[in-house]
Amino acid sequence: MGRNVDKDFADWLAPHLPMLHRTARAFADPADQHDLLQEMILALWKARPRFRAESTAATFTHRVAHNAALTWRRGETRRRLRGVAVEAELVKREAGTDPRDDLLERLYAAIRQLPPVDRSLILLSLDGLPYAEIARLHGLSETNVGARLTRIRQRVSSLVEEADHGV
């Protein structure tokens, strides 16, 4: 019986894995992304019995994953000290990678600098959720979501430009 439960969960989770990977990349430094991904999957495992289809499975997954990422982020200071050596090793190994990968990493580095709510808003937008869904997830109006996303996009752009110019 346990094997069926595991398979059911894996089947339910599969379409949401790309969003979970993007969330981990936006909330965690490269050395910690796998740990955060596992924390989000564990949170979803625990929360799935409470899913009552009052929203879409994607909305439910976003909410649980983002809450898990926010909780995980609070403890990042302790993990940051431990991850410095690992991150340096990863940077060495990634030398000479595709320039698009470098740009993508600079974008995620900029997103990691945003406050948690802004980070969540931009990720939900990048995942293609409509403003109405994002507004419902965060208890905001659609107009407020649109205005905040405009400012967030400008901020991310500035942060990437500053990083490119060494400011």
101 and 42, same structural domain? no
The total domain count for the chain is: 2
Which residue range forms the structural domain that includes residue 2?
1-95
32 and 108, same structural domain? no
Q: What angle is formed at CA 137 by the lines to CA 43 and CA 121, rounded to 5 degrees?
A: 95
pLDDT at residue 74, rounded to an integer:
74
Q: Looking at the whole model, is its pTM more than 0.75?
A: no
Instruction: Express each pLDDT in 69-85 by its tens digit.
Output: 988 887 665 545 455 44
Q: What angle is formed at CA 24 by the lines to CA 57 and CA 4, rounded to 5 degrees?
A: 45
What is the C-alpha to C-alpha distance for residues 122 and 125, in angstroms, rounded to an integer?
A: 5
Contact 62, 129 (CB under 8 A): yes
pLDDT at residue 64, rounded to an integer:
92
Q: What angle is formed at CA 11 by the lines to CA 8 and CA 15, rounded to 5 degrees?
A: 150
**Backbone torsions φ then ψ of 96, nearest 5 degrees:** 85, 20
75 and 9, same structural domain? yes
15 and 90, same structural domain? yes
What is the C-alpha to C-alpha distance for residues 98 and 137, in angstroms, rounded to an integer?
A: 35
pLDDT at residue 164, rounded to an integer:
77
The pLDDT mean for the chain works out to 82
Instruction: Express each pLDDT in 29-54 by its tens digit.
Output: 887 889 899 999 999 999 988 888 88
Of 71, 95, 119, the last residue of a domain is 95
pLDDT at residue 96, rounded to an integer:
55
pLDDT at residue 98, rounded to an integer:
60
pLDDT at residue 7, rounded to an integer:
81
75 and 11, same structural domain? yes
